[in-house]
Amino acid sequence: MTQPENIQSGSHKTILILASSPTDKARVRLGKEVQEIKKGLQRSKYKDEFTLEERWAVGPRDLHRALLDCNPQIVHFCGHASGENGLFLEDVSGKAQLVSTQALANLFKRFAERGLECVVLNACYTETQANEIAKHIDYVVAMNSAIGDNAAIQFAVGFYDELGAGWSYEDAYKGGCDEIALQGIPEEHTPVFKNFQKNSHASPSTSVFSEIARETYKKLKAFLKSRGRYVLSGLTPRFAHEGDLALVCEAMDEVLGRKVVFKALKLPDNNQKIHSNNEVEFQRFKEAVERGCKLSDEPNFMTIYDAHILESFDISIKENSVPYFVIQLIKGDSIRTHREHNTELQPREVRELILAIISSVVRIHNKGYCHGNIKPSNIMLRETPPDSVKLKNPLEKYEPFISPLHRYFSNQEELLSQLERRVENLENLDKLERKVKLNYILEDIAYSITPELFGPSQFDIDHKKTDQYMIGLLAYELLTNKLPCFLKEFDEDKFRDNPKEEFDILKGNLLDEDLFAFKDQTQLESVRDCPDSFKQAILKMISLEPSKRYNSLKDAGNVIERKYEYILAKESLARCLKKEDDFIDAFYDNFKHFTHNHEKFEAFFGSLKADEASWKNHRQVIKEAMLLLIAFHDQEEFSHAVEENIPQRQRILDENNILSRIAEKHVHFKKKEFQINQDDFKNFQRALICTICGPSHSKINNKSPFDEFCNLNKRGHTKKDIKDAW
């Protein structure tokens, strides 16, 4: 069955407070306002769901940089405005600098696409700005006239108290107005609320959920109350989401004291029409949960904690029961949300994420299971270290968790009919909900319409290779930031404008042309800092013919992991050899330090440095050893060694022979037998890495890394990357 987008996505919110009080304008108590907001959030029920960021004495450039740095869901401005002209920020001297209404609207428009949900303009005469900003931002709060200092502070208190208690933005707006009135200040009608979803002030908690979803929630809440363990957090967009077949809700497990997620199948009540496919959907839901339980205990798969599913749809209706299961709540975003709301990932970051996902899926393949539903919305990224840890690579903070609910479509008709029904349902949705649903339909078109399902009959479907194909699509999307849909006659923009008409065309092409409806992807668009080997691995994974993909997902992972590191190491050595003489001299000193057997070291080098010609010759020999080391690790025999299980000891001996061959090449060693062992090879490696990347402790005399990329962070490379690669 199709999985809806996960309500866990975007649960954590960043509030960016922008304070501006120009010296040539009336003084306002901004410090008091911010202090009260902090107090309210710190005492709130859901304080852990918010991060508060502050920027003071904000100028135009500060505003833009703050949005880039914090990528907030909520922006709160406090200060001065100039009616329809715009907001007053501060110039370099601290005096007022006007920022026009249109400039603000254009700026917020771009950040709406990155996750900005709500803008609060807590300043006098800001309704004009709110009207423009509300064309792009879902929720905007402003003031329709002058507002006093105390009233502005009380509004902020009420607004954030409501948000901290888990209520919607409109509830928070009403709570702010109520707080002004409760304090006896006659300005409760000054704040105004703008909702992009609807021109009316209908509450989001009722407008975005269908009648059947509200009925399902009511039944589920009553049933859980009778059992006395789980308490639902509320039917608001903050805690719930309605999918095509199921309602997803956050809840508290009061027995174990942890937050969980409920997924309940939507069922009609006794007064609603019961469709013939209800039993089919019920059985799919039941089978998906049963299969999911087999994966949910595997590492990096979300855990299913509990389930309540009766034998049949009819029994569920008669007993007024709601089928559901309870799953682990992952605090973080799905890959889909992360991609849409954050900056593009670097190739190295994509590689780390893809390798982690491959590792998890290979484990279930080894146990005889497949997934069949790998896509960005089904993989969550959980934040792992404490907030105080500052990491250079954003994805080092996250660990992927895959939804255990996998699925297989048995035939073309089953997949196309499900997609067709979802497209038809778009007509009943408002603008915002339609946009969200469209995104997930497009994702399923890209990831679920696989070549093997529509290819020739000789394509026996190997679900493990389908998993490989889907992970390849995911890598493609993360690298290019484009939907990986490879259907010849498909146009994403046209589909967004006319989904029903375009789906009919898509369906006809697939049924008429089979595999010829697909286009084979033979190249990746230019991706900065992405090694060709990584691109080629992805293209092989997404080959139209399954036989042209890797024999196994494990093979694909081996190639991606090994080849990428080889490229980094090779490029690193090339940079060092630009300063060849100094680099070799530094390596000599480090090798001497690591070689504890000084007698052997003297035998290896002897008095070469005393003779300029001999030392020049030996420099070349050392350089050749380094290049031979790179060549050894690039040889195709490595892959064969893994596949054919050549003993690890034999590969170690081959590595040692690199130095033996170099030793034999030099005339100094032809006069005596000289055996290189594993310790010598390890010392050679340690000295090389130390010279390139810098020492790991202070006893090494040469403390500066020769690879310049190990001194400064570069796009796509850091010292850690290069050291790990070596």
pLDDT tens digits, residue range 7-56?
333 357 899 999 998 988 877 888 899 999 999 999 988 888 899 999 99
Whole-angstrom distance, CA of residue 583 vs CA of residue 382: 42
pLDDT at 17 (0 to 100) = 95
How far, CA to CA in Å, does 456 sit from each of 426, 489, 510, 516, 522? 32, 19, 12, 10, 21
pLDDT tens digits, residue range 249-296?
888 898 998 889 999 988 765 444 445 567 777 888 888 888 889 898
Distance of CA 647 to the CA centre of its chain: 38
pLDDT at 596 (0 to 100) = 67
**Residue located via tokens 């849909």:** 485
Q: Check whether 394 has a pLDDT greater than 50.
A: no
Q: Check whether 500 has a pLDDT greater than 90.
A: yes
The more confidently predicted of residues 362 and 462 is 362
Under 8 Å between Cβ of 6 and 334: yes
Q: Check whether 198 has a pLDDT greater than 50.
A: no
506-515, 588-597, 633-642: the lowest-pLDDT one: 633-642
359-373, 409-423, 609-623: the lowest-pLDDT one: 609-623
**DSSP code of 125?**
S
Mean pLDDT for the stretch of residues 600-621: 66
Mean pLDDT for the stretch of residues 318-324: 82
Mean pLDDT for the stretch of residues 473-480: 92
**DSSP code of 269?**
-
The more confidently predicted of residues 185 and 394 is 185
Whole-angstrom distance, CA of residue 86 vs CA of residue 98: 6
Q: Check whether 604 has a pLDDT greater than 90.
A: no
Secondary structure, 3-state, 577-636:
HHHHHHHHHHHHHHHHHHCCCHHHHHHHHCCHHHCHHHHHHHHHHHHHHHHHHHHHHHCC
Mean pLDDT for the stretch of residues 228-233: 87
Whole-angstrom distance, CA of residue 248 vs CA of residue 264: 6
> With the C-alpha atoms ordered 58, 64, 70, 75, is the resulting torsion angle positive or negative?
positive
pLDDT at 52 (0 to 100) = 94
H or E element that contains 194: strand 191-195
Whole-angstrom distance, CA of residue 68 vs CA of residue 298: 37
pLDDT at 51 (0 to 100) = 92
pLDDT at 633 (0 to 100) = 64
pLDDT tens digits, residue range 426-472?
887 767 678 778 888 999 999 999 998 887 754 578 899 999 999 99
Secondary structure, 3-state, 282-325:
HHHHHHHHHHHHHHCCCCCECCEEEEECCCCHHHHHHCCCCCEE
Mean pLDDT for the stretch of residues 710-717: 56
Pairing relationship of beta strands 86-90 and 304-308 according to DSSP bridges: unpaired
pLDDT at 651 (0 to 100) = 45
Q: Check whether 152 has a pLDDT greater than 60.
A: yes
pLDDT tens digits, residue range 670-699?
444 555 666 777 777 888 888 888 876 555
pLDDT tens digits, residue range 523-577?
776 777 677 778 889 999 999 989 899 999 999 998 888 766 777 788 788 888 8
As a whole number, the mean pLDDT across the chain is 80
pLDDT at 375 (0 to 100) = 93
Q: Check whether 347 has a pLDDT greater than 70.
A: yes
Whole-angstrom distance, CA of residue 421 vs CA of residue 435: 16
Pairing relationship of beta strands 74-78 and 13-19 according to DSSP bridges: parallel
pLDDT grade, residue 632 (50/70/90)?
Answer: low
Mean pLDDT for the stretch of residues 598-606: 61
pLDDT at 432 (0 to 100) = 66
* Size of the chain, expressed as the number of residues it contains: 726
pLDDT at 715 (0 to 100) = 45
Residue 524, both tokens = 């990746």
**545 CB burial (10 A radius; 0-12, 13-18, 19+):** middle
The more confidently predicted of residues 657 and 486 is 486
Mean pLDDT for the stretch of residues 159-170: 90
pLDDT grade, residue 700 (50/70/90)?
Answer: low
Whole-angstrom distance, CA of residue 433 vs CA of residue 426: 9
pLDDT at 260 (0 to 100) = 93
**DSSP code of 64?**
H
pLDDT at 318 (0 to 100) = 75
Contacts of 199 (CB under 8 A, 6+ apart): none
Whole-angstrom distance, CA of residue 266 vs CA of residue 216: 6
Q: Check whether 58 has a pLDDT greater than 90.
A: yes
C-alpha dihedral over 129, 131, 133, 135, to 10 degrees?
A: -160
The more confidently predicted of residues 702 and 230 is 230
CA angle 41, 42, 44 (to 5 degrees): 60
Angle between helices 347-366 and 553-576 (to 10 degrees): 150
pLDDT at 365 (0 to 100) = 95
pLDDT tens digits, residue range 633-673?
655 434 443 444 444 444 444 444 555 555 554 434 444 45
The more confidently predicted of residues 432 and 90 is 90
Mean pLDDT for the stretch of residues 231-247: 75
Under 8 Å between Cβ of 397 and 383: yes
Q: Check whether 119 has a pLDDT greater than 90.
A: yes
